[in-house]
Structure 1
Amino acid sequence: MFEFLKKPQPTDGLQGRLLEARGIGLELSGRRILRDVDMTVEPGRITTIIGPNGAGKTTLLRILLGLQAPTEGRLLRRPGLRIGYMPQRIVVDEVMPITVQRFLALGGRAPRDELRRVLGEVGVSHLLEQPVQSVSGGEMQRILLARALLRRPHLLALDEPAQGVDVSGQGEVFQLIAALRDRYGCGVVMVSHELHLVMEAADSVVCLNQHVCCTGRPEAVSQDPAYLRLFGHSIPPGVAVYTHHHDHRHDLHGDVVKDVAPDREEC
């Protein structure tokens, strides 16, 4: 059974949550994709879905958003919930000239000032008049994030938000997501394979391999036997951890930007 609740019901059991999946399963053409998945998404918290390739992470996200109907279980959603969705990637045809401004306005009319505002919130307001085809991978991810913010969402749903971003800029993307969560007070559910960043940025982690292997706070999940069986130790053999004084950061293009107040980091 697939169910979206259109209006509040005393027996829905959401208790302030934004979304709740109960016993979600999916079978397509005789192939089991997901089975018996339970999870919740709460306001003001970042919930990250991790798992190996083929685990069903993106499929589960699509079910949570109502883009794919499960064959088993129930999905409860807060009435009137506004969702801002950031897909893993969007391919824009090279022969179709379109500016960032026009791209953002495709989902509905929005004043130019509003478009500039959301681009400013993700650090790329200077791209408003640029052709979409001319932006870098990291800039495109921020544009897609701005597109999701235009809905003033209660819930941000992000599929691999650091996809196409240089390694040096991935941490900045996750910091931005946390800052937006704080600013909007929204819940965040995202799919990511950047395990070291997820464990630092998430409030809760769902480790998925067609079913929920383990779930909880990052520090607990990282020590769970099910997690270790899937991923091994979070730091591979031969990779050292060292501490140093970091007096710079990297921007979207990977260029070095001097920090005013150097901090101490682990690499």
Structure 2
Amino acid sequence: MNLITVKNLSIAYGGNTVLRDVSLALEPGEIVTIVGPNGSGKSSLLRAIIGAIKPVSGEIFLKPGLKIGYVPQRLHVDPTLPITVERFMRLTDRVSQADCQSALEAAAVPDLLKRQMSQLSGGQFQRVMLARALINQPDVLLLDEATQGLDQPGSASFYQQIEAVRRDTGCAVLMISHELHVVMSASDRVICLNGHVCCEGVPAVVASAPEYRALFGTGTGGALALYRHDHNHDHDLDHSQSHKVED
């Protein structure tokens, strides 16, 4: 049974249609990545899946009892607010310190529990967001460009951890990414979105599709080789700060 099924989904803001007749399905244990240019409706699709916005038409079916972990594109935490990682992770859920620690270990940042949120680097902040999404042992992880603002080694390290989470927990992953070199190496399937589904399939098929090349060109092969080189080496977490990028 599919974990998530989207059928003929259309989304509009005012009179502006951002998605029309989009259909997709997410199966247990797979990593599916959504790519597309700015303004293509990628984030709107994820927000509709979690119930944050109401579609104009279409249907979204979630497997009964489905648990979703969500990592947003950006989250601002007031740097003057004295809040530890542990307290941040327990703001909305009644979870134990042991659960927080286990989630941080799953995100590969086990030593951050007592650290102030304001002291985290960009890479550490994103790992804490990942840990928070993992704390209730979700069936599905939704990632909305979770590596915005990280450099290439930091991004590669983050996505390597996503693959480890999938391997260790069996959860499925539906993620948005603008990093094509990562997408083509880390995904089981790719969906190319530009207001509608332009093409979809395994990475090699999508990379050769005319619709994909019209949007992104033909340079993915070299970037993919570079990612695979980086992917086989350990990297320190990036210390850059995230910046705002529109959907």
Q: Please give the TM-score of this superposition, normalised by the length of structure 1.
A: 0.84
Alignment: residue pair count: 238
Determine the structure 2 residue equivalent to 1:5: none
- Residues 212 and 99 of structure 1, relative CA distance in 2, 3 Å threshold: same
The alignment status of 1:91 with 2:99, answered yes or no, reads no
- Residues 82 and 217 of structure 1, relative CA distance in 2, 3 Å threshold: same
Q: Take 2:53 and 2:196, find their aligned partners in 1: how far apart are those partners?
A: 17
The alignment status of 1:175 with 2:136, answered yes or no, reads no
Determine the structure 1 residue equivalent to 2:204: 219
Determine the structure 1 residue equivalent to 2:244: none
The alignment status of 1:24 with 2:19, answered yes or no, reads no
Counterpart of 1:143 (choices 88, 103, 128) is 128
Q: Take 1:200 and 1:134, find their aligned partners in 2: how far apart are those partners?
A: 32
Cα offset, 1:125, TM superposition: 1.4
Amino acid at match of 1:44: G
The alignment status of 1:117 with 2:126, answered yes or no, reads no
Higher strand share: 1
User: Bigger relative contact order, structure 1 or 2, given CA contacts below 8 A and separation 6+?
Assistant: 2
Amino acid at match of 1:83: I
- Residues 222 and 58 of structure 1, relative CA distance in 2, 3 Å threshold: same
Determine the structure 2 residue equivalent to 1:260: none
Higher helix share: 2
Q: Take 1:30 and 1:156, find their aligned partners in 2: how far apart are those partners?
A: 31
The alignment status of 1:198 with 2:183, answered yes or no, reads yes
SS at match of 1:183: helix
Q: Take 1:244 and 1:108, find their aligned partners in 2: how far apart are those partners?
A: 37
Determine the structure 1 residue equivalent to 2:49: 64
Amino acid at match of 2:199: C
SS at match of 2:181: helix
SS at match of 1:250: coil
Which moves more between the two structures, 171-180 or 240-249?
240-249
Determine the structure 2 residue equivalent to 1:108: 93
Unaligned runs of 5+ in 2: 240-247
Give per-residue Cα distances to partners, 1:153-183, cap 9 Å, x unaligned: 0111111122232221211111110111121
Amino acid at match of 1:78: K
SS at match of 2:166: helix
Cα offset, 1:184, TM superposition: 1.3
Give per-residue Cα distances to partners, 1:100-138, cap 9 Å, x unaligned: 010001121211111111111111111111110110000
Determine the structure 1 residue equivalent to 2:242: none
The alignment status of 1:132 with 2:117, answered yes or no, reads yes
Determine the structure 1 residue equivalent to 2:58: 73
Unaligned runs of 5+ in 1: 1-15, 255-267
Cα offset, 1:235, TM superposition: 3.9
Q: Take 1:85 and 1:91, find their aligned partners in 2: how far apart are those partners?
A: 15
Q: Take 2:84 and 2:207, find their aligned partners in 1: how far apart are those partners?
A: 42
Amino acid at match of 2:185: E
Determine the structure 1 residue equivalent to 2:236: 251
Cα offset, 1:54, TM superposition: 0.5
Contact 1:21-1:74 within 8 A present in 2 as well: yes
Amino acid at match of 2:126: Q
Contact 1:94-1:133 within 8 A present in 2 as well: yes
Contact 1:51-1:193 within 8 A present in 2 as well: yes
Q: Please give the TM-score of this superposition, normalised by the length of structure 2.
A: 0.90
